[in-house]
Amino acid sequence: MENNVIEQVFGKDVFNDEVMQAKLPKDVYKSWKKTLESGADLDIEIANVVAHAMKEWALEHGATHYTHWFQPMTGVTAEKHDSFLSPASESKPVLEFSGKELIKGEPDASSFPSGGLRATFEARGYTAWDCTSPAFLQEDAAGVTLCIPTAFCSYTGEALDKKTPLLRSMEAISKQAVRIVKLFGMDDVKKVSCSVGPEQEYFLVDRDKYLQRKDLIFTGRTLFGASAPKGQELDDHYFGAIKERIASFMKDLNIELWKLGILSKTQHNEVAPAQHEMAPIFTTANISTDHNQLVMEIMKKVAKRHNLECLLHEKPFAGVNGSGKHNNWSIVTDTGVNLLDPGKKPHENKIFLLFLASIIKAVDENAELLRLSASNPGNDHRLGANEAPPAIISIFLGEQLEDVVEQIVRGDVSSSIQGSKLDTGVHVLPVLKKDATDRNRTSPFAFTGNKFEFRMLGSSMSIAGANFVLNTIVADTLQQFADELEKADDFNKAVKEVIKKNITEHQRVIFNGDGYSDEWVAEAEKRGLPNVKSMVEAVPYLVTDKTVELFERQNVLSKAELESRAEINYENYSKTINIEAKTMIDMAGKQFIPAVISYVTSLADSVNTVTAACAAADVSVQTELLTKCSSLLAKAQKALANLEKVTAEAAEKEEGQEQALFFKNTVFVAMEELRAPIDELEMIVDQDFWPVPSYGDLLFEV
Ligand code: ADP
Ligand code: MG
């Protein structure tokens, strides 16, 4: 019998544990595993043998090149390809790949953002093998390449990428969580890791139409566009039947992902027309981060095969939902215990409650940092805009845990609400057991059974940032708890006290109501919760004394590294808005204004021709349109001139915070002022004159 396609392709292009076991000498495999499990330094002898096996496997699969695959601060992945050809070879090719080449690479790093950490003349940057994430093969027109996941740092060891702080944060949280679980007698636990399952939203549009819009090409979002007559109001797209063209894209996508060992599990249509979602099964945070980068790249690649374009921007279309990424996160021991699993009786589960308290405290104390970790210029369109969680960080616990929390605060803990039966009233349907808690889709940070779901992330972002912040802030509260508990005389009493004290002190961050409502904004303000409205306003929190101390204490980022990241954030914001502004200037000046002039001229011609033919004819429609279009045209021209002026002014500002603020407060506003009259014109100008596909064409004709 023919095997199922998943069985045939799964992990085919990955140098995974199974392949290593088969290819490596037994003793090498064993010491390799030990290194991996203990997190100890890698022996070069072992690396040499692994490199050899990796090369042999890659060659068998047709690879000609290898690359250190890394994740610089641009947010996309980078690679520099070297062939396996050895320099020693003269007549006959010798294909070589040593342990040294496996563990260390040196791409010229001068053109990657470093936020001042490295002057361009000090170009050295190193990539170091992340041996915890398996190597894989990628095939494109250039052939097959062996990709080695790596971290990227400067000559002096500073992190220049998204991966390094993530790996450091995983060590930090492991160290502190192990201290805690040991206190509870779980002596066999040596390591604790964070599991992450990111749900990825995206749009698919027809590629021919996409190529007719410079805004989509240059910025990933539409900078102009009147709403289509239909939007998402009928809720008929959400979980709706998947169109055939999309289904065949999804089928291809799954196969490509499965080949790379990516556990693509769920797929469905999302809220907005042309919007979809893919969710993988969760895995360790760094692997999940690598996988999510691959998911985004492969979505784009596979889409093109179907003459589609995959839009990962957070807000490709105004007026319909944008795309986010839900980061499902939990803490699991190497013995397989999920420390965020409340069990049947959460009120009695001390270890769970202690971890819960540490998370509540960490989130409350570092809300601004979490908010920043979910910020990029695109996500500014979503957070707080009634489709994504508000910019206010709060925690949803659900009925059952909220009740336990109330009991803890009151000081008499005695019970946990249990899930009841769900009776549909139809006899042929089974009676289902209800979860103890319903879902709340409006919360930015929600407990969902045995994990937290951080829902603020933008669809195009690397998930590394959110996870290293989460790991680091929780590591820090766990450290404080461990310090206190290790010296307690009466451990049980001390645990109860730590839980009660911290939950009581940080209860204000818990909110189970509707996060989209105006009442919540007012209520949050009363509770003293921060409401940081934009990315640019969130950046300063990266370099406060409090943050620097916290990140240095946990050895995740140094002051210099944090400062560089703040600079990169400002730079990224300014550059993004600058490109958007310039694209608008280009489209308005070269496409929309000329199109409207042609239309207005045709109206004027019509008035002249009609009245010449019949002096008594009624040309009021043409005249009315002519007047209206001309007035909007003048408005657009004025707004265009203003946008040109302020964009030029922005270039003169001092780089960093000042420039970013100017882009946000002045240039962005001028962009909106240009968009308004043009969108209005789109509604009245004859569609034959309109130079780009409309929202209706893009969203409904896939
Ligand atoms: P929903 O859309 O209702 O949130 P999905 O099934 O789309 O649910 O997504 C749930 C995500 O959470 C999946 O990626 C899943 O792998 C992940 N997940 C489930 N359990 C855990 C866990 N313990 N730790 C981390 N992620 C998890
Ligand atoms: Mg979800």
How far away, in angstroms, is 199 Cα from ligand 2 center? 6
- 146-156 per-position pLDDT tens digit: 999 999 988 77
Query: Is the model more confident about 104 or about 466?
Result: 466
**Over 70: is that where the pLDDT of 121 sits?**
no
- Residues 436 and 450: their CA atoms lie apart, in Å, by 12
Q: Which ligand is nearest to the CA of 452?
A: 1
**Over 80: is that where the pLDDT of 48 sits?**
yes
- Residues 389 and 430: their CA atoms lie apart, in Å, by 35
- 322-375 per-position pLDDT tens digit: 999 999 999 999 999 999 999 999 999 999 999 999 999 999 999 999 999 999
Q: Which residue has the tokens 């979505």?
A: 299
How far away, in angstroms, is 178 Cα from ligand 1 center? 24
Same domain membership, residue 182 and residue 34: no
Residue nearest to atom 2 of ligand 1 (CA): 199
How far away, in angstroms, is 448 Cα from ligand 1 center? 9
How far away, in angstroms, is 348 Cα from ligand 2 center? 28
Strands 421-422 and 432-433: antiparallel
Residue that terminates a domain, selected from 161, 179, 199: 161
Distance between alpha carbon 229 and the CA centroid of its chain, in Å?
A: 31
Same domain membership, residue 512 and residue 443: yes
Pocket residue to mutate for ligand 1, from 263, 281, 328, 332, most atoms within 8 A of Cβ: 328
- In whole numbers, what is the pLDDT of the chain averaged over residues? 92
CATH number, domain at 41?
Answer: 3.10.20.70
Strands 308-311 and 421-422: unpaired
Which structure tokens are listed for 306? 């179907």
Same domain membership, residue 178 and residue 155: no
Same domain membership, residue 382 and residue 250: yes
What is the per-residue pLDDT for 448? 93
Q: Is 664 exposed, middle or buried (0-12, 13-18, 19+ CB in 10 A)?
A: buried
- Residues 151 and 61: their CA atoms lie apart, in Å, by 25
How far away, in angstroms, is 441 Cα from ligand 2 center? 8
What is the per-residue pLDDT for 384? 66
- Residues 528 and 606: their CA atoms lie apart, in Å, by 63
Ligand 1 atom closest to the CA of 450, numbered from 1? 23
> Which residue blocks in 274-397 are alpha helix, DSSP H?
285-305, 350-365, 367-373
Residue 567 falls inside a structural domain = no
Q: Which domain holds residue 606?
A: 573-700
What is the per-residue pLDDT for 21? 94
Report residues whose beta carbon is within 6 angstroms of any ligand 1 atom: 195-197, 199, 266, 279-282, 326, 328-330, 338, 450-451, 453
Same domain membership, residue 119 and residue 97: yes
Query: Is the model more confident about 469 or about 230?
Result: 469
Which structure tokens are listed for 635? 């408005």
Contact of 285 with 467, CB cutoff 8 Å: yes
Residue 565 falls inside a structural domain = no
In the chain, the number of structural domains is 3
Q: Which ligand is nearest to the CA of 281?
A: 1
- Residues 71 and 461: their CA atoms lie apart, in Å, by 12
Residue 562 falls inside a structural domain = no
- 470-528 per-position pLDDT tens digit: 999 999 999 999 999 999 999 999 999 999 999 999 999 999 988 888 899 999 999 99
What is the per-residue pLDDT for 60? 95
**Over 60: is that where the pLDDT of 2 sits?**
no
Residue 566 falls inside a structural domain = no
* CA 32 to each of CA 44, 47, 170, 605, 644: distance values in angstroms, whole numbers, following the listed order: 11, 9, 20, 81, 59
Ligand 1 atom closest to the CA of 439, numbered from 1? 3
What is the per-residue pLDDT for 527? 97
Residue 677 falls inside a structural domain = yes
How far away, in angstroms, is 520 Cα from ligand 1 center? 27
| Closest among 9, 597, 469, 3 to 253, alpha carbons compared | 9
What is the per-residue pLDDT for 126? 87
∠ Cα 352 355 357 (to 5°): 105
Residue 568 falls inside a structural domain = no
The 3-class secondary structure across 248-270, one letter per residue, is HHHHHHHHHHHHCCCCEEEEEEC
Same domain membership, residue 621 and residue 543: no
What is the per-residue pLDDT for 108? 72
Query: Is the model more confident about 116 or about 332?
Result: 332
How far away, in angstroms, is 198 Cα from ligand 1 center? 7
| Closest among 371, 365, 363 to 390, alpha carbons compared | 371
CB burial string 110-134: b at 16+ within 10 A, e below? eebbbbebbeeeebebbbbbbbbbb
Residue 374 falls inside a structural domain = yes
Same domain membership, residue 621 and residue 510: no
Pocket residue to mutate for ligand 1, from 173, 194, 199, most atoms within 8 A of Cβ: 199
How far away, in angstroms, is 650 Cα from ligand 1 center? 43
- 584-624 per-position pLDDT tens digit: 999 999 999 999 999 999 999 999 999 999 999 999 999 99
- 305-337 per-position pLDDT tens digit: 999 999 999 999 999 999 999 999 999 999 999
Ligand 1 atom closest to the CA of 341, numbered from 1? 23
- Residues 588 and 554: their CA atoms lie apart, in Å, by 50
Instruction: Count Cα neighbours of 221 within 13 Å in the Cβ-side half-sphere.
Output: 23
- Residues 100 and 111: their CA atoms lie apart, in Å, by 24
CATH number, domain at 628?
Answer: 1.20.120.1560
- Residues 301 and 391: their CA atoms lie apart, in Å, by 32
| Closest among 412, 408, 436 to 344, alpha carbons compared | 436
Contact of 477 with 509, CB cutoff 8 Å: no
What is the per-residue pLDDT for 145? 95
Contact of 565 with 193, CB cutoff 8 Å: no
* CA 631 to each of CA 67, 118, 529, 626: distance values in angstroms, whole numbers, following the listed order: 57, 52, 46, 8
Q: Which residues make beta-bridge pairs with 268?
A: 277
What is the per-residue pLDDT for 13? 96
Q: Which residue has the tokens 């980061």?
A: 327
Same domain membership, residue 613 and residue 470: no
Residue that terminates a domain, selected from 136, 161, 186: 161
- Residues 355 and 551: their CA atoms lie apart, in Å, by 20
Q: Which ligand is nearest to the CA of 340?
A: 1
**Over 80: is that where the pLDDT of 432 sits?**
no
Strands 63-69 and 143-154: parallel
- Residues 327 and 357: their CA atoms lie apart, in Å, by 20
Same domain membership, residue 393 and residue 476: yes
- Residues 374 and 314: their CA atoms lie apart, in Å, by 11
Kindly provide the ipTM of the predicted complex, given to two decimals: 0.94
- Residues 306 and 248: their CA atoms lie apart, in Å, by 8
Contact of 454 with 327, CB cutoff 8 Å: yes
Query: Average pLDDT, stretch 225-240?
Result: 82
Percentage above 70 pLDDT, the chain: 95
Q: Which ligand is nearest to the CA of 279?
A: 1
Same domain membership, residue 493 and residue 354: yes
Ligand 1 atom closest to the CA of 329, numbered from 1? 25
Residue nearest to atom 16 of ligand 1 (CA): 281
**Over 80: is that where the pLDDT of 227 sits?**
yes
Ligand 1 atom closest to the CA of 448, numbered from 1? 4
Residue 496 falls inside a structural domain = yes
Q: Which ligand is nearest to the CA of 332?
A: 1
What is the per-residue pLDDT for 6? 87
- 180-224 per-position pLDDT tens digit: 999 999 999 999 999 999 999 999 999 999 999 999 999 999 999
How far away, in angstroms, is 281 Cα from ligand 1 center? 7
**Over 70: is that where the pLDDT of 288 sits?**
yes
- 572-593 per-position pLDDT tens digit: 999 999 999 999 999 999 999 9
Q: Which residues neighbour 385 within 8 Å (Cβ) at sequence distance 6 or greater?
A: none
- 362-416 per-position pLDDT tens digit: 999 999 999 999 999 999 999 866 667 778 999 999 989 999 999 999 988 888 8
What is the per-residue pLDDT for 436? 63
CATH number, domain at 252?
Answer: 3.30.590.10
Residue that terminates a domain, selected from 113, 130, 161: 161
Same domain membership, residue 12 and residue 149: yes
Same domain membership, residue 243 and residue 140: no
What is the per-residue pLDDT for 571? 96
